[in-house]
Amino acid sequence: MSKLSILIAGSTGYIGIQLIKLLVNHKNVKIKYLCGNSSIGKKVSDYDNTLVKKKLPKIVKFDKKFLKDVDIIFTALPNGEAQIISKFLLKKNTLIDLAADFRLEKSSEYLKWYKQKHKATQNIKKSIYSIPEIAGKKVKDHQIISCPGCYPTSILLPLIPLVNKKFINTKNIIIDSKSGYSGAGRTVHKKYKKRNLYESLSAYGVGFHRHNSEIEQELSKCTKKNTNFTFTPHLSPMFRGILSTIYLEIKKNSSLKKINEHLIEYYKKNKFIKILKTNKHISTNDVINTNYCFISVCKTKFSNKIIILSAIDNLIKGGAGQAIQNMNLKFGFKIDEGLK
From the list 333, 240, 340, 244, the residue with the least C-alpha distance to 295 is 244
Phi, psi at 210, each rounded to 5°: -55, -30
From the list 295, 291, 287, the residue with the least C-alpha distance to 324 is 291
Amino acid identity of residue 214, one-letter, is: E
Task: Determine if residue 230 is left, alpha or beta; phi over 0 gives left, psi from -120 to 50 gives alpha, anything else beta.
Answer: beta
**Alpha helix locations (H) across 31-141?**
81-86, 107-114, 132-135
Contact 296, 264 (CB under 8 A): no
**Residue 298 annotated as catalytic:** no
Count of helix runs (H) and strand runs (E) in the chain:
9, 14
Contact 327, 309 (CB under 8 A): no
10 DSSP 8-state letter? S
From the list 326, 328, 333, 331, the residue with the least C-alpha distance to 127 is 326
What's the N-to-C CA distance of the chain in angstroms? 21
* Catalytic, out of 150, 222, 293, 298: 150
DSSP secondary structure letters along 141-184? G-SEEEPPPHHHHHHHHHHHHHHHTT-B-TTSEEEEEEEEGGGG
**Catalytic amino acids?**
150
